[in-house]
Amino acid sequence: MSEPTPIDAAGAPARIDAMDVLRGFALLGILLMNIEGMVGPLLGAMTGLDPALTGADRWADALIYVFVQGKFYPLFSLLFGMGFAVMMMRAEASGRSFLPTYLRRILALLAIGLAHALLVWNGDVLVSYALLAFPLMFLFRNTPLSRLPKWGTAFILAPSLFFLLVGALVSLVMMAPGGGAEMEKGMAEAAVAVAADLEAQRQAYGTGTWAEAVAQRKQDLLQMLGFLVFWGWQILGLFLLGAWFARSGAIARPQDFPVLYANLRRVALPVGLLMVLVSCAITPTMDFVRSDFPVAAAMGLFTVGGTLMALGYLAWIQRALQSSLAPRLMWLAPAGRMALTNYLVQSLVCTWIFSGWGLGYFEQLPRAWQVPFVFAFFAVQVLLSQAWLARFRMGPMEWLWRAATYLRLPPMRR
């Protein structure tokens, strides 16, 4: 039986180029997804298609919603789980203790995430990853390989099944005598609260000072932690699925898993796309205050469909890496090796451009123009990452994260 990952001269799992390429690809998708919540209020970017848009803006909004929104954070989550498993295998191969090292790693990530969420941008994902890494580390590091995809699938489906159940109950209540009036009253009150939150974000990030933006980001962070109680199960499930890809060797040796990758390309991706399109047909614009069965069904279809599409994207990237396109895709690898640095730079630069305390272009960049802006920005990041790694071993934030993890300063220059 072959090794689960390539082995370096020291007997530890070697670096997997496919993971770096996938991280680079995911960085582009993350910025395409996040840019709407940087140009305008984040709460307004989380509702699906904007009914007020027309023409090219509407087409751009629809394409991003169908092919990007909800597809790249699952991909990033899979990669986080892969990184967890690779680090654990490295520790085992070298005879080091894994638990204290990884604990320092996620505590450092939590500190970076909190600084990012409070001081830079309210759409941070690092805090969520760090918090969910605790159950990953303590409960699943010794899970048998065969059980990882089972637990992962169960957790991925859990939020959607929960909201489907809630949606069914809400619909039944609305059908009962007098129930509809009470529900309508409650939804009207909730709509007022959501509108107030949206306006608070618009004022704080559009015209407010940096201190006012920090105060608003604190409120947004607390709200995000509330969402994590429900949606964190899906992210944890994606971590486990990613860990399986690494431990089984599927990410390092895709040629040994032809049936898996063929099914992801030919079945998971089109089925996922169909689920997303059906979700859009049911309700293209998600309403935060509604929780009846049609809305719950649309949300569940969009969430599960997005995960299937992310797996399909992963499979197609792996296929391309085994073809003549591999040299071109490897251009993404340096950006992926500096994923943490590039992710934070995206937030720093974009919030400076669009926030009121920066250049003040809040809600000024049309939706259609956000797409070429992202591609141009990311192209610069790719070029700068290549130039940086030609001289240094890792990105600056990766260096800091590694130093906090191993409690020693790693060499920086090549």
Mean pLDDT (whole number) for 268-289: 93
Indicate whether 7 pLDDT > 70: no
Asked if residue 295 has pLDDT above 80, the reply is yes
CA distance 51 to 61: 10
CB burial readout 344-372, b (16+ within 10 A) else e? bbbbeebbebbbbbbeeebeebebeebbe
Give percent of the chain with pLDDT exceeding 70. Answer: 96
Residue 413, in any domain of the structure: no
Lowest mean pLDDT among 33-37, 226-230, 380-384: 226-230
pLDDT at residue 2 greater than cutoff 60: no
pLDDT at 287 over 90: no
pLDDT at 267 over 90: yes
Inside any domain, residue 245? yes
Residue 225 has pLDDT above 70, yes or no: yes
Q: Tell me, yes or no, whether 11 lies in a domain.
A: no
Residue 8 has pLDDT above 70, yes or no: no
Tens-digit pLDDT profile for residues 118-176: 999 999 999 999 999 999 999 999 999 999 999 999 999 999 999 999 988 888 887 77
Would you say residue 356 has pLDDT above 50? yes
- Is residue 207 one of the residues assigned to a domain? yes
Instruction: Quickly list DSSP for 358-388.
Output: TT--TTTS-HHHHHHHHHHHHHHHHHHHHHH
Mean pLDDT calculated for residue range 272-278: 98
Structural domain contains residue 318:
yes
- Long-range (24+ apart) CB contacts under 8 A made by 182-186 are none
Residues 316-324, mean pLDDT to the nearest whole number = 96
Contact (CB, 8 A) for 288 and 45: no
pLDDT of 183 above 80: no
What is the structure's pLDDT at 290?
Answer: 80
Mean pLDDT of the chain: 93
Q: What is the mean pLDDT of residues 322-329?
A: 95
pLDDT bracket for residue 191 (50, 70, 90) = confident
Q: What is the DSSP letter of 125?
A: -
Once rounded to an integer, what is the mean pLDDT over residues 339-345?
A: 98
Alpha-carbon span 385 to 392, nearest angstrom:
10
**Residue 12 within any structural domain of the chain:** no
pLDDT tops 90 at residue 113: yes
At 3, the pLDDT band (50, 70, 90 cuts) reads very low
Domain count, the chain: 1
- Could you tell me the CA-to-CA distances from 54 to 62, 67, 153, 225 in Å, in that order? 11, 19, 38, 34
Per-residue pLDDT band for 409 (boundaries 50, 70, 90) equals: very high
pLDDT at 243 over 90: yes
Distance (Å, whole) CA 325 – CA 115 = 38
Query: If you average pLDDT over residues 173-201, what whole number do you get?
Result: 82
Structural domain range at position 291: 17-379+391-406
- pLDDT value for 9: 39
* Residue 14: band (very low, low, confident or very high) from pLDDT cuts 50, 70, 90: low
* Length of the chain, in residues: 414
User: Is 4 inside any structural domain?
Assistant: no
Asked, for residue 287, whether it belongs to a domain, the answer is yes
Task: Tell me the mean pLDDT in the region 355-365.
Answer: 95
pLDDT of residue 157: 97
The pLDDT value given to residue 292 = 85
Q: 257 pLDDT exceeds 60?
A: yes
Tell me: the pLDDT tens digits for 167-181?
Answer: 888 888 877 777 667
**Residue bearing the bigger pLDDT, 292 or 314:** 314
For the full predicted model, state whether its pTM sits above 0.85: yes
Q: How confident is the model at residue 13 (pLDDT cuts 50, 70, 90)?
A: low
